[in-house]
Amino acid sequence: MTKIVIYIALLLSSYQLEAEVDCKASPINQGKYLNRKPPKSWTNCYGEYIYLNNASTYKGSFMNGKPDGNGVLENIAGSSYTGDWKNGQFDGRGVVQNSDGSVYDGFWVNGKFVGQGSIILPKIGKITGYWNDVNVTGEFTVEYNNNHLYTGSLIEGIRHGYGVLVYPDGSSYNGYWENDKEHGEGSLKFSDQKLFSGLWKDGEYFGVKRDNNEYSN
């Protein structure tokens, strides 16, 4: 499996707004502002802000001159974030849709992926699990585009540790992995329920474990 690398097209630097727009602190007031520095008095209201530095537009709630609450950020490249904000950053539940077709749907803390969520990568498939920023390390479920299903340990997007891979015909490998290959003790169950257990090395079957803890072909 190709090493999973997450690309988020939206620039994090654009999420922190230093707007200086006075919306009179009224929740029903609305405003549209272009390339200005708004004051912190833009509080508890809805507005639209256009950033000339990266051609992005934010529409949503503000607090103290920064996005806070629910809002949408879109850029000219076709990427967007829709969801919760806090103090000018992604915080809470939100969805990032990138122009390359990748989608992240889950939770954010202080502008980073933190918590349960899923990412769809067009060239790989859908990855679901608990995220700690963009490092794909931990226990995940990967639904590949070729209809293979993996549930288990990933280290930087590579199958490493214990995991189960289920094939489209119902057969499966249940055991240990190293550097994205079957490696260590494992068992291969065929679609007719026949079981083939033993030791694997670099993705190849090595032998059957005997009573003396030795392996033979």
Closest by Cα among 200, 118, 210, 130 to 165: 200
Claim to verify: residue 98 and residue 30 sit in the same structural domain? yes
pLDDT above 60 for 202: yes
Claim to verify: residue 122 and residue 22 sit in the same structural domain? yes
For the stretch 163-177, pLDDT in tens is 999 999 999 999 999
Claim to verify: residue 82 and residue 45 sit in the same structural domain? yes
- At position 207, the amino acid (one-letter code) is G
Claim to verify: residue 77 and residue 148 sit in the same structural domain? no
Is position 6 within any domain?
Answer: no
Q: What is the CATH number of the domain that holds 171?
A: 2.20.110.10
Paired strand residues for 112: 109
Claim to verify: residue 120 and residue 139 sit in the same structural domain? no
Question: Of the residues 82, 98, 127, which one is the last residue of a structural domain?
Answer: 127
pTM over 0.85: no
Is position 1 within any domain?
Answer: no
Question: Of the residues 105, 127, 149, which one is the last residue of a structural domain?
Answer: 127
CA distance 166 to 64: 51
Q: For residue 217, what pLDDT band results from cuts at 50, 70 and 90?
A: low
* CA-angle at 148, arms to 143 and 154, nearest 5°: 60
Q: Indicate the average pLDDT of the chain.
A: 81
Claim to verify: residue 53 and residue 75 sit in the same structural domain? yes
Q: Which residues does 211 contact at the CB level (< 8 Å), separation at least 6?
A: none
Q: For residue 42, what pLDDT band results from cuts at 50, 70 and 90?
A: low
CA distance 136 to 58: 29
For the stretch 101-154, pLDDT in tens is 999 999 999 999 899 999 999 999 999 999 988 789 999 999 999 999 999 999
Claim to verify: residue 160 and residue 74 sit in the same structural domain? no
Q: Tell me how many domains the chain contains.
A: 2
For the stretch 57-77, pLDDT in tens is 888 888 888 889 999 999 888
Is position 27 within any domain?
Answer: yes
- At position 107, the amino acid (one-letter code) is F
Claim to verify: residue 81 and residue 160 sit in the same structural domain? no
Claim to verify: residue 47 and residue 67 sit in the same structural domain? yes
Claim to verify: residue 69 and residue 145 sit in the same structural domain? no
Q: Which domain holds residue 52?
A: 13-127
